[in-house]
Structure formats: structure tokens, C-alpha cells
A and B are shown apart, each in its own frame.
Chain A
Amino acid sequence: MNPKAHVHKKITVDDVLKSPVVASPLKLLDCCPFSDGASGAILCSEEFAKKSGRPYIEVIGSGRGASPASVQGREDITTIPSTVAAARQAYKMAGVSPKDIDFAEVHDCFTIAEIIDIEDLGFFPKGKAAHAVRDGATRLNGEIPINPSGGLKSKGHPIGATGVGQVAEVFEQFTGKAGERTVPNSEIALTHNFGATGASAAVHIFKKVDKK
């Protein structure tokens, strides 16, 4: 669905379960690949955007967060504090809540990361995300589509570019360039990306601007 993605195979639950163990319980297909690649974005003032006469998207929320650098330094390792803090700031600035988000690009370097992310971002209550994913809530036609681009595991993870690649996906979605992976009627999107095991994170919220 994404011509620029690293992995183009259709992968079933069975394929994942049959792939070799990397670090139990994670199997090879629970992990993202090492990728090469680059993504870029042009950010500008509202005046500059209006003068351009082109379609643009407003960045309505921006948040940063931090966590203890090592996993052992954390009180609870089923949540990533930097995500929680960055999301809280971004939601507050944007004046929206998780239920207002039409789709999100999240940091799914491993399957467990995506589960923890979508709980920390407030899309699902703690401990409920795995079941919600199984029930299809995060699919393209689900209640909150997650990673329409394919995410880190399919689109790929060129680590310095990943966070900008998520922004490029929002741009393609909101400007009608996402083809068959388009999230219908989407107007507000969220991007979430963290470093290492979540020592640093940033969350951004975007709003489609209707051209008058």
C-alpha cells in the first residue's frame, strides 16, 4: 500500500509466530528492520503559508517528554513516561483529546512498543490495547487507525528520519496523496516518536486546513 516502504510482504499472525525468536517473547517479525532513507518537511509561518496559495496543514500541538535513560531506572516498565508527558502537552496546546484524533503514526519499533504507545497516548485504557488491536480497532477502517504508512516495522526505520517520515505521511494523507491507504474523512492526526527505550520523545498534532 505504501510504494516507499521497506517491507512489502503480507504478514499473517502465523508468519510472526513461526519466525525465529530474537529475545523471548519477541520474534523476528515483532521487530523493525534497519533501514536507509530520508524524509523532509517545510515548516513556515501562517503568513508565509497563506501567501503561497498552496494547501497547507497547521501544527496545532507540540510536546516533549523525557524518561530515565535506562529501563532499570523506571518505576513501571509497562508505560513510557516521556510519551505520556509529550502527549499531555501536545493535547493541551491543541485543545483536543485522544478521541478527536482521526489517525496516528506511532513509534512501533517492536510490537510491544505499539501496544504501550497507544495506551500512553490515551487511545485505549491501560492493559486493553492488545485486545483492541486484535479486534481490529487500529486498522485503516477501525476506530483509531494506527500507522497507515506501515509504521516502523513495514515502512521501515531509518532512525534519524523516522520522526519526519511520520510527518510526511500526515502530509500525504491530508493532501490526497496516500492512495489506497487513505484514512477517510481525516482532519486531525497525531505523530509520536521516541528515542531508545523512550528516554526522549516528542508528540505533534496536525490539523487539515480547508482552503477557502
Chain B
Amino acid sequence: MTTNKVCLLGAGSTKYGKLNESIIEIALNAAKDAVESAGITPKEIQAGYISNVFGVADKQVHMAPVIMSNLGIPYVPGLTIESACGSGSVMFREAYANVAAGFYDCVLALGVEKVTHTGTARSTTLFSYCSDFFYEGGNGASFPGLFASMARAYMTPTRQLKKTSLTLQSRTMKMG
């Protein structure tokens, strides 16, 4: 497959941390930063790719058209993409692929999040929805717990690990 070369012409970020603006204002600040650093105007953008997970926590989903409208380009198509903590790179890949395929000459790839206003307990619950909730989050296995299990496996000598894995497999088979 032949694809076209894709270039990164500009990029920008807001501060990361606890921010008081709305999720749309945060998104627009980064968008403006990126547009300025590329030396273009929003009118040159032919498509927008927006990554976000918890827009619902700030009362906004279907974020792409809202962002495109606020950038003054309401007739330019946008797409909102969610892939948990990987949303930004997975979205970037789609933006990349569309330029590589020749569909567009210039696109905006923009990721945004706002969760801190919900507090630690609510944020932890929201994040757990990104796991396989039936098996993991729903049974109390939050992300620190899941990564702790990976850390324990990493720190366990291989032989012991194989034994544990076999025990678990045989248990699964009995249950299955």
C-alpha cells in the first residue's frame, strides 16, 4: 500500500493539572495554541479529530462539532474518538491515516479531559469504567490494583509465575 507522507506542522498544550475553565474552553485553548504554532488559520483545517473520555463529567459529549463550531469552522467535519487512556494516540493515528490516504491536506488532532472537579472517589469510579468492568472494575479491581498485579508478576521469579499461571488456568477450566 502506498501512502502519502504526513507532517507535523504545529502543536500546543494547555497547562496540565486542576483547571477551572469548562472542558470546551480547555480544548479551545490548546487548539488555538496548535493553530498558532503551525502558522495557519482555522479556515485551513479540513477535518477535526477529537479524543476525549469523560466529557459526560462536564456535561458535554459529541464534542467534535462543538469544538469545530467554536473555532469558527462549523461546516468542517469532526469526529470524537474514545480509547480510554490511549484515546490521544489512537485518535492521532486516525488523523494520520486520513492525511496519509490523501483524504485531507490539513487536519486538527486535539485531545482534552476534565475530571478533577468530580473528586478522587468519583474519578476513580469513572476510570474503572475503562477496564473490562464485568471482570475487573466491577469486582473492585481498580487500575492501581491491576497494575500492582502486573508489578507483582514482574517481581516474581519465572518458575513461580508459571506455576501460578498453571494453577489459575486449571481453576478456570474447572469453572468453565
The interface of chain A, by Cβ under 8 A from chain B, is 3-6, 22-26, 31, 34-49, 52, 54, 56-59, 62, 64, 69-73, 75, 77-78, 107, 109-113, 115-116, 155-168, 170-172, 191-197, 199-204, 206, 209
Q: Whose C-beta in chain B lies nearest to the C-beta of A71?
A: B146
Name A163's closest neighbour in chain B (CB-CB).
Answer: B88
Bound Cα distance A99, B12 (Å): 28
Assembly CA distance A209 to B5 (angstroms): 12
**Can you list 13 residue pairs at the A/B interface with Cβ under 8 Å?**
A36-B113, A42-B35, A48-B106, A54-B9, A71-B150, A110-B147, A159-B54, A160-B113, A164-B89, A165-B16, A196-B143, A201-B89, A209-B7
Contact B4–A40 (Cβ < 8 Å):
no
Please give the number of chain B residues whose Cβ is less than 8 angstroms from any Cβ of chain A in the complex. Answer: 90
Does B108 contact A25, Cβ atoms closer than 8 Å? no
From 62 to 101 in chain B, residues with beta carbon under 8 angstroms from any chain A beta carbon are 82-93, 95-97, 99-100
CA distance A196 to B112 in the complex (A): 17
Instruction: Collect the chain A residues with CB atoms within 8 Å of residue B155's CB.
Output: 25
How many inter-chain contacts with C-beta < 8 Å in the A-B complex? 355
A109, B147: Cβ atoms closer than 8 Å: yes
Q: In whole angstroms, what is the CA distance A209 to B7 when docked?
A: 10
Residue of A nearest to B110 (CB): A40
Q: How far is the CA of A156 from the CA of B111 in the complex (A)?
A: 14
Known A45-B7, A78-B161, A164-B91; 5 more pairs at CB < 8 Å = A23-B144, A36-B114, A38-B29, A78-B150, A160-B82
Measured CA separation A110–B95 after assembly (Å): 28
- In the bound assembly, the distance between CA atoms of A57 and B141 in angstroms comes to 41
Checking B11, B84, B102, B168 against A172 with a beta-carbon cut-off of 8 angstroms, the contacting residue is B11
Most A CB within 10 A of own CB, among B86, B135, B145, B153: B86
Which of B31, B88, B165 gathers the greatest number of chain A CB atoms within 10 Å? B88
Would B111 and A164 count as touching, CB distance under 8 A? yes
Chain B residues closer than 8 Å to A172, beta-carbon distance: 11
B84 near A159 with CB under 8 A, answer yes
Q: How far is the CB of A119 from chain B (nearest CB, A)?
A: 9
Which residue of A is nearest B4, CB measured?
A45
Query: Chain A's nearest CB lies how many Å from the CB of B95?
Result: 5
For the complex, what is the distance from the CA of A168 to the CA of B29, rounded to whole Å? 14
Mask: chain B, 1-44; 1 = CB below 8 Å from A; 0 = not:
00011111111111111110000001101110111011110000
User: Quick check: A195 and B86 within 8 Å, CB to CB?
Assistant: yes
For B26, the closest partner residue in chain A by CB is A38
Within 114-158 of B, Cβ neighbours of A (below 8 Å) are at: 114-117, 120, 123, 127, 130-132, 135-136, 141-155
Given A41-B10, A46-B7: A161 touches B88 (CB 8 Å cut-off):
yes
